[in-house]
Amino acid sequence: MRRHVVTIGRALALGGLALTDVFLIGLILVTAVLTGLGMVFFFTPVVRLVRLRTTVVRRVNGRWLGVETAPSYLPPPPPPHRQPDGWYRHDRQLYKTPWWPAWNNRWKWMFTDPATWRDVLWLSLNPIVGGSLLLLPLAGVGYGLAMPWYWAPQTAPLGVAVAVAGVAATPWLLRFYGWWNHLWLSPTAKSILAGRIQRLDQVRLEAVDSQASELRRIERDLHDGAQARLVAMGMTLGAVEELMDSDPAAAKALLAKVREASSMALTELRDLVRGIHPPVLAERGLGDAVRALALDSPLKVTVTVDLKDRPESPVESAAYFSISELLTNAVRHGGADRVWIDISTQGRALRVTVTDDGSGGADPARGSGLRGIERRLAAFDGVLALSSPPAGPTTATIDLPHMSGWGAALPEQPPLSGWRLVVVGLGWGLGWLPLFPQGLVAMVLKIVGFEDKSWFLALHLPEPWQWPVIIFNIVLGLAMYGTALAIPAARSRRQLMAGAGPSCLGLGR
């Protein structure tokens, strides 16, 4: 009973909210007229209001109706950049402040985004769809309960049956309404691809910056380390040549220093090469490389490795250096004594968990080390999850895609077949029959009191059955058309989301 009461309350709330969209539709029509007259300043705030309304629907879809719906908007334009001369350019115009270029970019972004017009179309249909799906069945409940008083006591069983049918149909219609909202407001293939392209551009820029930073580090290490020692060795050998005849003992002592310097230069070069790509990582894999790293650490490190197959070399390198950075943070900043490292496979991802017993309080926003790990992982659609309360412990979890099919092109989608093809064909071929002549037209004739019943089925039925049959025909027609639209759209969207990766689903942020 409580579940039915909650369902009816939600249906009433959503149906009433759908009816209030009429005022927003009127505002949209006024804005369209003003925009056509050249007053485009009203367009942006009204579109923001519409997007706020659809955002509420997406949240309600997830919390009340159980249908998670992600935003479908294209990525917003980047902020305008200041030119060397101090001006901001938009097309052929120059501005002293970034406000006008940003406003023009935002206006064009909203106007050219297909999701904007999908929102407007959904908003235009929502009073009809939301009202017919959610309010009319509840009105039918009241109509059925009132039948014995308005018609005759003998109609009480029929009225109770109509009321029970309305209550029983409300959860199904509420679920259909959630599916309808998801169909119109969920991300399209174009928005998913646009988000993926933006993500790849961002990852490419971060990878270029990271590579340039790594090259600068290598150049600095060579200049300050091995190069300086080689120069000193050359100068010492020059002194040995001068002392060879006059003071052989001093020359011999200098040669010993040269040998010592060459040994130190060789050690520095090996450390540098190990910092670029450790030989043990290339030869023996991630597990043994991390164990070797643990042996060199001043902490007590426990390493657990459970890998069914070896990841690709770039993924191994990213995981190895991320673990190395986390160990360094545990030593320098965490004050830890013990570290536990677990390397395993979780589905299509390589999962690394690093836990230390330090003081905690790690935050990527306060240091470059964790931000560097995030940038390194972003190149592979990897993520870093960090839990570090002030009193510790600190747990860092790394997820990296490592399957050989990562980044491959999506396979070509085969055409519809089987029952899906039959359902789509019936939806497009027969959906017009219950929706228009037997539903909407019959409803108009019933309202105006037209006496010619013609071939409209509902008008030939007894009076108590006419409105329920008309409503049923409208809902049936909408369901047939919606199903014919949803089956291929959901199939394409499911395939594209499977290949886009989790990092491309946060669209329109």
Local confidence pLDDT in tens for the 509 residues of the chain: 677 788 888 888 888 888 889 899 999 999 989 888 888 888 999 999 999 999 999 998 888 877 788 888 888 888 888 888 888 887 778 888 888 888 888 988 899 888 898 899 899 888 888 877 788 777 777 767 776 666 666 667 766 777 787 778 888 888 888 888 888 888 877 777 777 777 777 777 766 776 777 777 777 777 777 778 788 888 888 888 888 878 888 888 888 888 888 888 787 777 776 666 677 888 888 888 899 888 888 889 999 998 888 888 888 888 888 898 888 888 887 788 899 999 998 877 899 999 998 888 887 777 657 888 887 887 787 888 888 888 778 899 999 886 444 444 444 556 777 777 888 888 888 888 888 888 888 888 888 877 777 778 888 887 777 877 887 788 788 778 878 877 777 676 666 555 544 444 444 43
Q: Is residue 380 part of a domain?
A: yes
DSSP H or E segment with residue 353 = strand 349-356
Closest C-alpha among 321, 476, 442, 342 to residue 397: 342
Q: What is the pLDDT of residue 485?
A: 77
Same domain, yes or no: 222 and 291? no
What whole-number distance in Å separates Cα of residue 363 and Cα of residue 357? Answer: 16
Say if CB 15 and CB 135 are below 8 A apart: yes
* Domains of the chain: total: 4
401, 431, 454 - which closes a domain:
401
Same domain, yes or no: 396 and 439? no
57-94: burial string, b at 16+ Cβ within 10 Å, e else: bbebbeebbebebbbbbbbeeeebeeeeeeebebeeee
CATH number reported for the structural domain that contains residue 305 in this entry: 3.30.565.10
186, 221, 245 - which closes a domain:
186
- With a threshold of 0.85, does the pTM exceed it? no
Closest C-alpha among 92, 101, 116, 99 to residue 44: 116
Say if CB 44 and CB 103 are below 8 A apart: yes
Instruction: List Cβ neighbours of 19 (8 Å cut-off, separation of 6 or more).
Output: 127, 130, 131, 135
Q: How far out from the chain centre does Cα 502 lie?
A: 6
Q: Is residue 466 part of a domain?
A: yes
Same domain, yes or no: 330 and 380? yes
399's tokens: 């997820």
Q: Is residue 410 part of a domain?
A: no
Q: Is residue 468 part of a domain?
A: yes
Same domain, yes or no: 181 and 307? no
What whole-number distance in Å separates Cα of residue 373 and Cα of residue 364? Answer: 9
Same domain, yes or no: 127 and 20? yes
What whole-number distance in Å separates Cα of residue 224 and Cα of residue 218? Answer: 10
Q: What is the pLDDT of residue 505?
A: 43
Q: What is the pLDDT of residue 152?
A: 60
Q: Is residue 18 part of a domain?
A: yes
Same domain, yes or no: 242 and 213? yes
Same domain, yes or no: 291 and 386? yes
Q: What is the pLDDT of residue 276?
A: 66
223, 252, 276 - which closes a domain:
276
Q: Is residue 134 part of a domain?
A: yes
Instruction: List Cβ neighbours of 154 (8 Å cut-off, separation of 6 or more).
Output: none
Same domain, yes or no: 171 and 260? no
Three-state secondary structure readout of 212-255: HHHHHHHHHHHHHHHHHHHHHHHHHHHHHHHHHHHCHHHHHHHH
What whole-number distance in Å separates Cα of residue 312 and Cα of residue 400? Answer: 11
Instruction: Indicate the Cα dihedral angle 201, 365, 216, 314, nearest 10°.
Output: -60
Same domain, yes or no: 475 and 430? yes
Same domain, yes or no: 269 and 310? no
Same domain, yes or no: 28 and 122? yes
What whole-number distance in Å separates Cα of residue 458 and Cα of residue 438? Answer: 7
Q: Is residue 450 part of a domain?
A: yes
Same domain, yes or no: 137 and 161? yes
Q: Is residue 82 part of a domain?
A: no
Instruction: Indicate the Cα dihedral angle 292, 298, 300, 302, nearest 10°.
Output: -20
Q: What is the pLDDT of residue 340?
A: 93
Structural domain range at position 388: 286-401
